[in-house]
């Protein structure tokens, strides 16, 4: 029976729905406990997903596939949602009685991502993507009273809809050329013709929107800045990873380079993304917006792996996506804690953080440096994989630009570090982020350091996950 | 008898009109409607291809249906957000929604 | 053969002072007296060893040559040993250095008795003695260079011993830097030797050089090596540091800046004579430089008033003499003069020091006078030294100077010979100008000068005695033994004839007479003479404006260009970096404004991006 | 006994262990924090001296090897090993690390954080010299960048430029240089993979491969840019004087003393060893730039008034010697480059320790503010004097060995350039003696009468570093034979021949 293979998906959906159902009639306190229970059960799902990592099966005539690639990302999304929720339990108290809706939407978004990466067919992919995206529209605007949040939701919706339309148009053109939407069959029936190229380019744009590649990145800073921080975090780590996973599966499996060499466009886009993201980040003064631009730059690095489209590159993408979860969540979790304490995410809110809470400052610094690719943190190994892949495919220039831009990025990360370490804070009271956030922070910190120092396990996992492409 | 390329051309034109609407209209509801045009262009493609390309007979139809459903959901959320935004700004003009920038 | 064993221990001669230095520096700096005794004891033992070594070396008719070495710096392609080459040349130098150093150190006990930094003074003295002896012992250029620099730094420390005085500070710096300029050339010379012959050992080089036939290269190498001599022996144009070096304590001037260290340049030429002599052009240049310095310095000495500076210029002049002799090929004559000069010039300095000491650091000779009666021993010693320096027979200076003059004549350099005579006359004049003004003049010194304590006069007496007899080994009385031992096949050895001797003596006597006439009998008023040639006097008293020229060079050329380069570093190199950073930030600032908050412009970027990519893709792929 | 223990790991991680212990100490426990820092660095120092003694020179090659496969698909191993080139630099690191702890004894603010960062820094620097794996090498190199930044901005000082500017410039400049380096490393790794079919980051294994000439030139250029920046190769030196001026004493000591040397070490161990043909092609250009270092920076020193700038620019100048030694690519010159790195490290560290001490007490570093300090502070003066004399290459001090050997070696390849380089010894003498004279000598100045001379812990840097300067200078045979055993192996293996086609003379292979 096929449903046995879908245990993760089913349980996640059930948790999301149950959360909604059970919450009705509970008071705020009860809802808070319920959300914690939901997070705990998500953790069990995560364990389950880890155990079932190596399962492989194609379901429903190939419309839905269970493979190690999908399983890798399932683990990633579950980790991400758990970490994000853990780190935001303090933050989301402000939603009061809507807290369960919020959490359940987060879980649905994760569900959408899971479907997206397991799709064996463009239709499934689209549906999963929309589940995720529509959840995010709502989540972005979850602070409805807040103009920024509402505006972010609306902007995301308009732009997201446009990008969906573009993506769909691309898919329809591919369908026109091949007559199929099953990903594994497209490759077989591919013919080089203008419609194919148009289709590929439009799909590239559609996925590019999700992963925030230049010039499809414009929504990112606004939406990241306006949304509630947990949503921003999940957008950054989850939505982006899902975008990459789908991107990867479709482009590498369905669109062989021999038919149409999309690799070079990827490379150029990757380079532009790194440059633009990092350069604009330099002048930012709001930490959320800064991290938004930084996440654009990160997308550029990961895209370099896709442009390479070889073992190192793909492995690097998976590797990087995973470590990106820890590093970014860690950075955002600190931001959340600071926001909860000071009510602001401006850089000045971080002043003197190292005196108030040395651990928070240290974690923020370490996570950011991991994003910048400073060893011995995880980001360095990830970049090493990605750029090794790029060099192997002949994109030495891309590697050079990427590495130089990484170093440029250190500038703004260190600017924030400087504020944290030598800035003068108004109050000297320590920030208490709460037990769950602490847990999330320590997980992020330890994972970032551990992966950086001993990357072999994660790299082995990534290796296993990409075997469908080789 | 129109061939596939005619349909594709039609879809492309429709998509183009949608794009134009998206870029030029200031009313956010009109923009959403333009997006619907773009999605409809996609649907035309799917249906036409299904008719002309000899394989997987029903996929195009199914896809189009999904698109329609999802688009409906999207619009539902969209309208809700527009109302929320209208409460803040007393406007549905996209140009006014620029608190978030730079 | 019984005394040969001592040669194996000759390294102790240099080692003991080093040991004393280390012990004083590490443990004894709080006990100045003990430091002093330790230092004197070590140099005392060294001088005994040096005498023993000399006996052993001169025990055979031809002179014993003994070489030993240990590896110091060793790798394929470069080997520098710490070794010792004992031959008559080294033996003579060892004797000279140890004896003078010993006497100076004893003398210093009196001269420096109430000095707070006595321990460090003796530490530097020991370090100097060790380095100088190491230099003498060296069997290769690498080692020579090492100790060459070390004596330089000792000189730096000792000139600047009274570091609280700005003048001493400046003089020390000047000495070191000027020497560095010479060493620049010297080091290049060494580099050439290593490059050309693959070795720095004297013996190997001499062998290698025999088959070498490349006069232009040899000329360059010889001149570069000579650069070291110019610096260390203060030849023109690098002579400027030596007069200033008189800022140091007088015993230091006696030891380092008269007798030993400054003679190292001469010793270098003697040691490397096989290189110099193989390039006749180089020899000529050396001779000319030496001769010129001799005359030039002597001319300045004529007009100065500072007792130590007069002696300093005299040293310059005499060093020029020695260098000139080397240039004419009269190597042994030059070395002979080096030896005698070491004795009588240190004698002169120590005697001058005794005077200065007695007069509470007064150095202007016209503020002295009639000291003969108050300081008889000092005066006597000084006069012996002055006579010897002037070349009055049978004092040591006479023999050595005559050999140099004979060498110049014998090698056919008539002009140099005449120049030498001229210098002899000038030397006698300025020395006896000094003698008459200081010891016999009618002026009365201020205060109540009295004879120095025995600890100072005893070394004077000994040195005076040595100055008298040191000429004997080079005289007919000992059958020119000096020239017999210290010789190389390439060197010229001319024994002065009777005529030369008489001529030079006459010139010296003429100088003395002139001084007597002008300063004792006042037959000729010096002021009138000055009035006759005011410009010449001004030129002389300003030392030919050479110091001013260097000061100008440093301030206007070196410092100006340094300031300019710093400006360039800040405004070009640094600004470039800053500008790159600035433009990076600036472009971020510019790009930032693409995010104008307008959804539709975002959409425009997206859709425009698609169009561009699509156009590029269609254009690049050959489907249409 | 030594062979059974992972002695290199122990040496390497001792400071980190110290840092970990300090993390768990309350920040008020000032004395234990300092003692732990001192103890852990002392253990490392003692171990490295032990390694120095126990290393078998007749055998040569890598010894005390530790090898644990680490990342299989990148061919990375946690591989440690030392040879004649790395031992002196490891020793240098620990000498300076130990001294730096004492030079920081009087740090007043955030003592706990300071020593944690300092210890991490020491371990990081050491790691680059101990590893035989290219990946780990780069990893350790970059590990140190961030602690340095934090140390500069938190404990640095602002004079001509602010410490924030100096720290940021230093960090970003070096990181961008390292981007080129890393690109080179990746290119090398990928190329080697395609040649041998096995991914490997082992330096020796990479050196065993024959890379095409064009690739070598290209990659070496990248590495030269990366390492050259770190070595403050003209004109990429702009970070160096400002950085040292802004940094706290211990960082200046470690940065100028050891960190910079990673550049030279990398050029030899990675550049020349793996890419000999590329090295030969690029070398003349490096030699020319080296002259830029030597003369240009020395000239600028003449116009400086801030003590730290003087030493900062002088270290740029001295790196020119190292560079020309490396560029000459023969046994003697490379030997000279290695010993010069060691010598300059000790000297610069001593200099900065003395300056730091003086600054701590007088709150100024301007030469004109001082004069006659030898009256009040004879010990400090002797420290200054020793460092200064070492800096100007006085025989009997270890720097002379480096300069002399480099000149001898370089003169074989570059006549004119070496002659200009030798000019450096004159310029160095001028600015060093000027500075020393103006600071230490001259009439006593009343305003500094209350300054305390060095005492207690402050003496440690002077004694430790000073004795090494003298010992190395008086008896260079031992350390040179060690260095030679390492350099000889590299030179023999890559078979460096006379330079034929080069970037300056043109020509092709």
Domain spans of chain B, in order of start:
4-96
Average pLDDT value for residue range D140-158: 90
Tens of pLDDT along C538-565? 888 888 888 889 889 888 888 899 999 9
d(CA A128, CA A70): 13
pLDDT-based confidence at residue C28 (cuts at 50, 70, 90):
confident
CB A292 within 8 A of CB A220: yes
For C279, residues 6+ apart whose C-beta sits below 8 A from its C-beta are: C215, C218, C219, C222
Distance from CA of D321 to the nearest CA of C (A): 15
C-alpha neighbours within 13 Å on the C-beta side of residue C195: 22
**Among B31, B66, C615, residue whose Cα is nearest residue A162:** B31
Distance from CA of A253 to the nearest CA of B (A): 19
A384 and D135: CB-CB below 8 Å?
yes
Q: Does C134 touch chain D (CB under 8 A)?
A: no
- b vs e for A323-356, b when ≥16 Cβ sit within 10 Å of the residue's Cβ? bbbbbbbbbbbbbbbbbbbbeebebbbbbbbbbb
Number of helices (H), then strands (E), in chain A: 20, 2
**pLDDT on residue D508:** 42
**pLDDT on residue D503:** 57
The answer for D 60-99 residues in CB contact with C (under 8 A) is none
Q: Note if the bond before A435 is cis, omega within 30 degrees.
A: no
- b vs e for C130-168, b when ≥16 Cβ sit within 10 Å of the residue's Cβ? bbbbbbbbbbbbbbbbbbbbbbbbbbbbbbbbbbbbeeb
Which of A157, A198, A202 to mutate to probe the B interface, most B CBs <10 Å? A157
Q: Which residues pair with C75 in a beta bridge?
A: C78
What fold characterizes domain B4-96? Helix Hairpins (1.10.287)
Tens of pLDDT along D180-237? 999 999 999 999 999 999 999 999 999 988 899 999 999 999 999 999 999 999 889 9
A158 and B99: CB-CB below 8 Å?
no
| Strand-pair category, D63-71 with C78-86 | unpaired
| Strand-pair category, C78-86 with C66-75 | antiparallel
CB C197 within 8 A of CB C211: no
Q: What is the mean pLDDT of chain D?
A: 90
Is A142 in a helix, a strand, or coil? coil
Q: Note if the bond before D106 is cis, omega within 30 degrees.
A: no
For A245, residues 6+ apart whose C-beta sits below 8 A from its C-beta are: A69, A70, A73, A116, A117, A321
Q: Note if the bond before D203 is cis, omega within 30 degrees.
A: no
**pLDDT on residue D502:** 56
Please count the residue pairs, one from chain C and one from chain D, whose beta carbons lie less than 8 angstroms apart.
148
C599 and A408: CB-CB below 8 Å?
no
Average pLDDT value for residue range D163-179: 91
Question: Element (H or E) spanning A57, and its range?
Answer: strand A57-59
How far, CA to CA in Å, does D207 sit from each of D66, D127, D268, D271, D495? Answer: 19, 20, 12, 10, 12
Q: Following CA atoms C208, C214, C217, C218 in sequence, which dihedral angle do they give, to the nearest 10 degrees?
A: 60
Is D149 in a helix, a strand, or coil? helix
Q: Which residue of C has its CA nearest to D388?
A: C153
Which residues in C lie closer than 8 A to residue A214 (C-beta atoms)?
609
Q: Following CA atoms D180, D182, D188, D191 in sequence, which dihedral angle do they give, to the nearest 10 degrees?
A: -100
A281 and C616: CB-CB below 8 Å?
no
Q: Which residues pair with D500 in a beta bridge?
A: none
A161 and B74: CB-CB below 8 Å?
yes
Q: Which residue of B has its CA nearest to A290?
A: B102
pLDDT-based confidence at residue A405 (cuts at 50, 70, 90):
very high
**Among D394, D237, D249, residue whose Cα is nearest residue D307:** D249
**pLDDT on residue A3:** 74
Please count the residue pairs, one from chain A and one from chain D, whose beta carbons lie less than 8 angstroms apart.
93
B15 and A225: CB-CB below 8 Å?
no
Secondary structure in 3-state letters for C356-392: HHHCCCCCEHHHCCCCCCCCHHHHHHHHHHHHHHHCC
DSSP string, C488-542: -TTS---PPPHHHHHHHHHHHHHHHHHHIIIIIS-SS-HHHHHHHSHHHHHHHHT
C164 and D375: CB-CB below 8 Å?
yes
Q: Does C124 touch chain D (CB under 8 A)?
A: no
For D464, residues 6+ apart whose C-beta sits below 8 A from its C-beta are: D95, D98, D99
Res C99 pLDDT > 80 = yes
Distance from CA of C85 to the nearest CA of D (A): 20
CB D410 within 8 A of CB D340: no
Domain boundaries, chain A: 262-470
**Among A297, A161, B74, A236, residue whose Cα is nearest residue C602:** A161
Q: What is the mean pLDDT of chain C?
A: 88
Complex ipTM = 0.91
d(CA A132, CA C10): 93
Indicate contact of A with C: 3+ CB pairs under 8 A: yes
CA D393 to mean position of chain CA atoms:
17
pLDDT-based confidence at residue D103 (cuts at 50, 70, 90):
very high
**pLDDT on residue D504:** 55
- Burial category of D405 from C-beta neighbours within 10 Å (exposed 0-12, middle 13-18, buried 19 and up): buried
Structural tokens at position A112: 């959408």
Give the residue ranges of chain B where pLDDT is below 70: 55-57
Structural tokens at position D226: 């990366």
Structural tokens at position D486: 């390492």
Where do we find the tokens 């959906």?
A: A13
Radius of gyration of chain B (CA): 17
pLDDT-based confidence at residue A169 (cuts at 50, 70, 90):
very high
Tens of pLDDT along A85-128? 999 988 988 888 889 999 999 999 999 999 999 999 999 999 99
Tens of pLDDT along D9-28? 999 999 999 999 999 988 88
Secondary structure in 3-state letters for D10-26: HHHHHHHHHHHHHHCCC
**pLDDT on residue D505:** 54
Q: Which residue of C has its CA nearest to A208?
A: C606
Which residues in D lie closer than 8 A to residue C147 (C-beta atoms)?
395
Q: Does C598 touch chain A (CB under 8 A)?
A: no
**pLDDT on residue D509:** 42
**pLDDT on residue D496:** 62
Q: What is the mean pLDDT of chain A?
A: 91
D303 and C160: CB-CB below 8 Å?
no
**pLDDT on residue D507:** 45
pLDDT-based confidence at residue C219 (cuts at 50, 70, 90):
very high
For CA atoms C19, C22, C26, C32, the dihedral sign is positive
**Among A387, A389, A411, A385, residue whose Cα is nearest residue A400:** A387
**pLDDT on residue C445:** 66
Structural tokens at position C191: 């580099």
Radius of gyration of chain C (CA): 31
Q: Which residue of C has its CA nearest to A155?
A: C599
- Would you give the DSSP letter of residue C611? H
A384 and D171: CB-CB below 8 Å?
no
Is D77 in a helix, a strand, or coil? strand
Q: Which residue of A has its CA nearest to C612?
A: A201
For CA atoms C516, C520, C523, C525, the dihedral sign is positive
- b vs e for C413-437, b when ≥16 Cβ sit within 10 Å of the residue's Cβ? beebbebbbbbbbbbbbbbbbbbbb
Q: Which residue of D has its CA nearest to A366?
A: D146
pLDDT-based confidence at residue A184 (cuts at 50, 70, 90):
confident
**Among C107, C341, C142, residue whose Cα is nearest residue C233:** C341
**Among A400, A148, A362, A176, residue whose Cα is nearest residue A274:** A400
**DSSP E strands: which ranges in D274-365?**
none
Structural tokens at position D30: 């000032």
pLDDT-based confidence at residue A333 (cuts at 50, 70, 90):
very high
Tens of pLDDT along A218-252? 999 999 999 999 999 999 999 999 999 999 999 99
């Amino acid at each position: 029976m096929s449903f046995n293979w879908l245990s993760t998906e089913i349980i996640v959906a059930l948790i999301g729905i149950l959360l909604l159902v059970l919450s009705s009639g509970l008071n705020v306190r009860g809802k808070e406990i319920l959300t914690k229970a939901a997070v705990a059960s998500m953790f069990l799902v995560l364990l389950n997903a880890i155990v079932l990592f190596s399962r492989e099966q194609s379901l429903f005539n190939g419309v839905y596939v269970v493979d190690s690639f999908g399983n890798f990302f399932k683990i990633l999304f579950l980790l991400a949602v758990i970490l994000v929720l853990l780190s935001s339990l303090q933050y989301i108290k402000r939603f009061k009685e809507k807290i369960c809706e919020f959490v359940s939407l987060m879980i649905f978004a994760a569900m959408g991502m899971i479907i997206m990466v397991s799709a064996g067919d463009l239709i499934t992919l689209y549906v999963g993507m929309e589940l995720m995206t529509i959840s995010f529209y709502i989540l972005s605007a979850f602070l409805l009273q807040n103009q920024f949040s509402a505006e972010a939701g609306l902007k995301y919706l308009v732009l997201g809809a446009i990008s969906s339309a573009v993506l769909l148009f691309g898919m329809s053109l591919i369908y026109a050329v091949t007559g199929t939407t099953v990903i594994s069959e497209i490759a077989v029936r591919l013919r080089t013709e203008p419609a194919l190229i148009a289709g590929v380019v439009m799909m590239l744009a559609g996925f590019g929107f999700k992963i925030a590649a230049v010039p499809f990145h414009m929504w990112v800073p606004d939406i990241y800045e306006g949304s509630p921080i947990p949503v921003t975090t999940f957008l950054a780590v989850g939505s982006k990873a899902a975008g990459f996973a789908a991107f990867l599966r479709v482009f590498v499996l369905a669109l062989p380079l021999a038919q149409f060499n999309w690799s070079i466009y990827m490379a150029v886009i990757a380079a532009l993304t790194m440059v633009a993201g990092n350069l604009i980040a330099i002048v930012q003064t709001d930490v959320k917006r800064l991290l938004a631009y930084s996440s654009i730059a990160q997308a550029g690095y990961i895209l370099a792996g896709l442009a390479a489209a070889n073992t190192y590159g793909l492995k690097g993408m998976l590797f990087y996506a995973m470590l990106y979860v820890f590093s970014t969540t860690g950075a955002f979790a600190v931001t959340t804690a600071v926001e909860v304490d000071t009510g602001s995410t401006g850089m000045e809110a971080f002043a003197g953080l190292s005196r108030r809470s040395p651990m928070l400052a240290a974690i923020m610094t370490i996570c950011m440096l991991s994003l910048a690719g400073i060893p011995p943190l995880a980001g360095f190994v990830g970049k090493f994989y990605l750029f090794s892949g790029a060099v192997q495919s002949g994109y030495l220039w891309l590697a050079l630009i990427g590495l130089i831009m990484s170093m440029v990025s250190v500038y703004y990360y260190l600017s924030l570090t400087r504020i944290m370490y030598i800035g003068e804070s108004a109050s000297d009271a320590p920030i208490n982020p709460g037990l769950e956030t602490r847990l999330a922070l320590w997980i992020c910190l330890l994972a970032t350091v551990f992966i950086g120092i001993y990357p072999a396990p994660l790299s082995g996992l990534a290796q296993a996950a990409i075997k469908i492409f080789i | 008898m129109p061939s596939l390329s005619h349909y594709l051309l039609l879809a492309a034109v429709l998509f183009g009109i949608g794009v134009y609407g998206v870029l030029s209209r200031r009313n956010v509801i009109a923009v959403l409607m333009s997006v619907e045009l773009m999605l409809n262009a996609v649907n035309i493609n799917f249906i036409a291809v299904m008719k002309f390309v000899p394989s997987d007979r029903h996929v195009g139809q199914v896809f189009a249906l999904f698109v329609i459903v999802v688009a409906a959901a999207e619009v539902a959320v969209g309208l809700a957000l527009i109302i929320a935004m209208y409460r803040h700004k007393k406007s549905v003009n996209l140009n006014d929604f620029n608190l978030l920038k730079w | 053969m019984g005394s040969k064993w001592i040669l194996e221990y000759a390294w102790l001669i240099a080692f003991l002072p080093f040991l004393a230095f280390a012990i004083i520096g590490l443990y004894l700096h709080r006990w100045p007296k003990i430091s002093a005794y330790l230092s004197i004891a070590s140099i005392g033992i060294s001088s005994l060893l040096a005498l023993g070594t000399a006996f052993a070396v001169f025990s055979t008719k031809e002179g014993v040559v003994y070489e030993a070495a240990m590896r110091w710096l060793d790798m394929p392609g470069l080997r520098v040993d710490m070794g010792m080459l004992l031959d008559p040349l080294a033996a003579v130098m060892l004797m000279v250095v140890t004896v003078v150093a010993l006497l100076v150190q004893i003398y210093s006990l009196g001269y420096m008795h109430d000095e707070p930094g006595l321990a460090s003074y003796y530490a530097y003295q020991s370090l100097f003695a060790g380095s100088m002896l190491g230099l003498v012992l060296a069997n290769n250029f690498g080692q020579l260079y090492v100790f060459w620099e070390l004596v330089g730094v000792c000189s730096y420390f000792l000139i600047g011993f009274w570091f609280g005085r700005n003048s001493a500070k400046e003089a020390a710096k000047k000495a070191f830097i000027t020497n560095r300029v010479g060493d620049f050339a010297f080091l290049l010379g060494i580099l050439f030797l290593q490059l050309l012959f693959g070795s720095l050992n004297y013996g190997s080089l001499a062998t290698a050089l025999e088959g070498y036939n490349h006069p232009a290269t040899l000329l360059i190498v010889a001149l570069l090596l000579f650069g070291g001599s110019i610096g260390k022996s203060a030849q023109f144009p690098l002579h400027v540091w030596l007069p200033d070096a008189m800022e140091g304590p007088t015993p230091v001037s006696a030891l380092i800046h008269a007798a030993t260290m400054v003679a190292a340049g001469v010793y270098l030429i003697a040691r490397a004579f096989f290189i110099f002599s193989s390039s006749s052009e180089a020899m000529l240049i050396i001779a000319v430089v030496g001769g010129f310095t001799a005359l030039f310095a002597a001319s300045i000495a004529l007009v100065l008033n500072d007792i130590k500076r007069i002696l300093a210029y005299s040293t310059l002049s005499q060093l020029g003499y020695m260098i000139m002799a080397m240039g004419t090929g009269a190597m042994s004559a030059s070395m002979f003069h080096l030896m005698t000069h070491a004795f009588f010039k240190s004698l002169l300095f120590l005697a001058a020091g005794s005077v200065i000491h007695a007069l509470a650091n007064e150095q202007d000779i016209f503020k002295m006078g009639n000291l003969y009666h108050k300081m008889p021993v000092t005066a006597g010693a000084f006069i012996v030294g002055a006579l010897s320096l002037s070349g009055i027979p049978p004092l040591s200076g006479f023999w050595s100077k005559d050999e140099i003059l004979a060498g110049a004549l014998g090698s056919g350099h008539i002009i140099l010979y005449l120049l030498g005579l001229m210098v002899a006359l000038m030397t006698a004049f300025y020395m006896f100008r000094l003698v008459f003004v200081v010891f016999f003049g009618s002026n009365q010194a201020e205060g109540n000068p009295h004879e120095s304590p025995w600890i100072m006069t005893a070394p004077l007496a000994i040195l005076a005695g040595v100055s008298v007899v040191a000429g004997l080994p080079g005289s007919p009385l000992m059958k020119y033994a000096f020239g017999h031992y210290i010789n190389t096949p390439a060197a010229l050895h001319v024994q002065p004839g009777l005529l030369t001797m008489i001529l030079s003596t006459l010139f010296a006597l003429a100088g003395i007479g002139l001084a007597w006439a002008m300063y004792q009998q006042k037959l000729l008023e010096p002021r009138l003479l000055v009035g006759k040639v005011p410009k010449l006097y001004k030129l002389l008293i300003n030392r030919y404006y050479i110091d001013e020229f260097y000061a100008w060079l440093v301030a206007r050329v070196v410092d100006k260009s340094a300031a300019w380069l710093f400006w360039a570093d800040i405004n070009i190199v640094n600004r470039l970096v800053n500008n790159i950073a600035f433009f990076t930030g600036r472009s971020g600032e510019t790009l930032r404004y693409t995010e104008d908050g307008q959804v539709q412009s975002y959409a425009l970027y997206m859709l425009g991006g698609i169009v561009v990519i699509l156009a590029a893709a269609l254009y690049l792929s050959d489907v249409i | 006994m030594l062979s059974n223990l992972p002695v290199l790991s122990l040496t390497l991680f001792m400071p980190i262990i110290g840092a970990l212990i300090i993390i768990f100490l309350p920040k008020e426990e000032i004395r234990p924090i300092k003692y732990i820092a001192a103890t852990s660095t002392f253990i490392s120092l003692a171990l490295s001296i032990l390694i120095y003694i126990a290393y078998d020179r007749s055998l040569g090659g890598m010894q005390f090897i530790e090898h644990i496969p680490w990342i299989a698909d990148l061919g990375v191993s946690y591989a440690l090993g030392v040879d004649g080139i790395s031992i002196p630099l490891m020793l240098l690191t620990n000498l300076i690390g130990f001294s730096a702890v004492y030079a920081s004894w009087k740090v007043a603010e955030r003592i706990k954080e300071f020593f944690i960062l300092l210890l991490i820094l020491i371990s990081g620097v050491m790691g680059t010299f101990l590893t035989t794996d290219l990946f780990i090498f780069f990893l350790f190199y970059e590990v140190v960048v961030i602690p340095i930044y934090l140390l500069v901005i938190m404990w640095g000082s602002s004079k001509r430029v602010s410490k924030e500017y100096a720290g940021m410039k230093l960090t970003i400049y070096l990181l961008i240089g390292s981007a080129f380096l890393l690109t080179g490393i990746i290119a090398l790794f990928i190329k080697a993979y395609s040649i041998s079919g096995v991914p490997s980051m082992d330096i020796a294994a990479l050196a065993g491969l024959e890379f095409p000439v064009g690739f070598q030139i290209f990659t070496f250029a990248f590495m030269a840019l990366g390492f050259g920046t770190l070595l403050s190769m003209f004109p990429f030196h702009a970070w160096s004087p400002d950085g040292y001026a802004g940094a706290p004493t211990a960082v200046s000591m470690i940065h100028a003393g050891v960190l910079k040397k990673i550049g030279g070490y990398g050029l030899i161990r990675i550049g020349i060893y793996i890419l000999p043909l590329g090295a030969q092609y690029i070398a003349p250009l490096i030699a020319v730039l080296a002259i830029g270092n030597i003369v240009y920076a020395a000239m600028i020193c003449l116009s400086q008034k801030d003590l730290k700038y003087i030493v900062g620019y002088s270290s740029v100048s001295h790196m020119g010697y190292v560079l020309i030694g490396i560029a000459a690519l023969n046994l003697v010159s490379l030997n000279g480059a290695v010993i010069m790195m060691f010598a300059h490290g000790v000297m610069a560290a001593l200099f900065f320790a003395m300056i730091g001490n003086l600054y701590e007490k007088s709150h100024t570093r301007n030469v004109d503010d001082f004069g006659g300090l030898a009256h009040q502070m004879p010990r400090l003066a002797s420290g200054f004097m020793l460092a200064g004399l070492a800096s100007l290459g006085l025989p009997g001090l270890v720097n002379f060995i480096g300069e002399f050997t480099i000149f001898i070696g370089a003169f074989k390849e570059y006549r004119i350039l070496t002659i200009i380089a030798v000019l450096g010894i004159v310029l160095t003498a001028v600015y060093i003696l000027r500075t020393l004279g103006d600071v230490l000598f001259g009439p006593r100045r009343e305003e500094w009468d209350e300054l305390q001379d060095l005492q207690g812990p402050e003496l440690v840097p002077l004694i430790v570093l000073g004795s090494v300067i003298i010992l190395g200078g008086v008896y260079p045979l031992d350390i040179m034979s060690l260095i030679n055993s390492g350099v000889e192996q590299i030179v023999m293996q890559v078979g460096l021949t006379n330079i034929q086609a080069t970037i300056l003379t043109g020509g092709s292979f």
